[in-house]
Amino acid sequence: MNLLTKMAQGLIGQKLHMVSAVDVRRVIGYQDFVDTAPMDPVYVVDHSRMKLVPVTKREPCAFAAAGAMAQDVSLYCASAARLFIALWPGPALARSLATLCGSDTVGAAARPVATHSIHLTLNFLGDVPRQRMAELVPALHVPFQPFELSFSRCEPWRHGLVVAIPDAVPAPMVHLHAALNDVLRRLGLPVQERAFRPHLTLARRHFQPPPTPIGLPLRWLVDGYVLAQSGVTPGGDYLVLQRYG
């Protein structure tokens, strides 16, 4: 891949080369979209090249420089919103889901997902220009039939994820996912072609077998879905933009 920079003198080219062939996206971020992001910048500091900076000040200077670069990237991307469509449990159910597999008491190295952030992604839209919101929001209103999900087991997924899997995927949920994909295609927005694997991410960076599920199966009467935005705060919080159903 070549990276071109437009300058007064013309186009300056730089070639990107492979440093590691290992997919590390799931271990360098906290949000679900990081797992499948086309590109995730990683800022690496080489202290040996900071010869004009005193040794004791190199680390804080590196922090400041990395923060400034990340802010520049964020400002450039601010014209678009990273969006996804999801099922979003209420607070009480989210707390119960957080304890389903003991994910609120995992080891010190693991990162449980905050209860207010637990959700089940239906469709990931990626970065959508904000000027398209006016047509997108009403277009996502599709026929919806309430359905029930039951959770009684958890699974360890790659890169340290602990996820809760529905005991069954009801037909109305399959139809909803397909209908939303049809809308995205009509709008010319990206649609993930991989198999739909509904799940709730409960913890990240948990590299031990998940604990045995606690208590009876949890039942969730799904009465709607939401359009949400990710990355609205430095901590990676989500913002629900519109509710449907």
123 against 209, higher pLDDT: 123
**Does residue 32 carry a pLDDT above 70?**
no
Angle at 27 between CA 22 and CA 29, to 5 degrees: 125
CATH 3.90.1140.10 region(s) of the chain? 80-244
107 vs 223 pLDDT, higher one: 223
Indicate whether 33 pLDDT > 70. Answer: no
pTM of the model: 0.68
Average pLDDT over residues 124-151: 95
- 95 CB burial (10 A radius; 0-12, 13-18, 19+): middle
Long-range Cβ pairs for the range 2-9 (8 Å, 24+): none
Tell me the pLDDT of the chain averaged across its residues.
82
Question: Amino acid identity, residue 151?
Answer: F
Q: Give the range with max mean pLDDT: 193-197, 202-206, 235-239.
A: 193-197
Report how far residue 238's alpha carbon sits from residue 124's, in angstroms, rounded to the nearest whole number: 13
- Would you state the pLDDT for residue 1? 47
Whether the pLDDT of residue 224 is over 70: the answer is yes
- Confidence (pLDDT) at 190: 87
Task: Confirm if 147 and 222 have CB atoms less than 8 A apart.
Answer: yes
Residue 6: pLDDT over 60 = no
The three-state secondary structure class of 54 is coil
- For residues 51-55, average pLDDT: 82
Domain 80-244: CATH architecture, name and number where available: Alpha-Beta Complex (3.90)
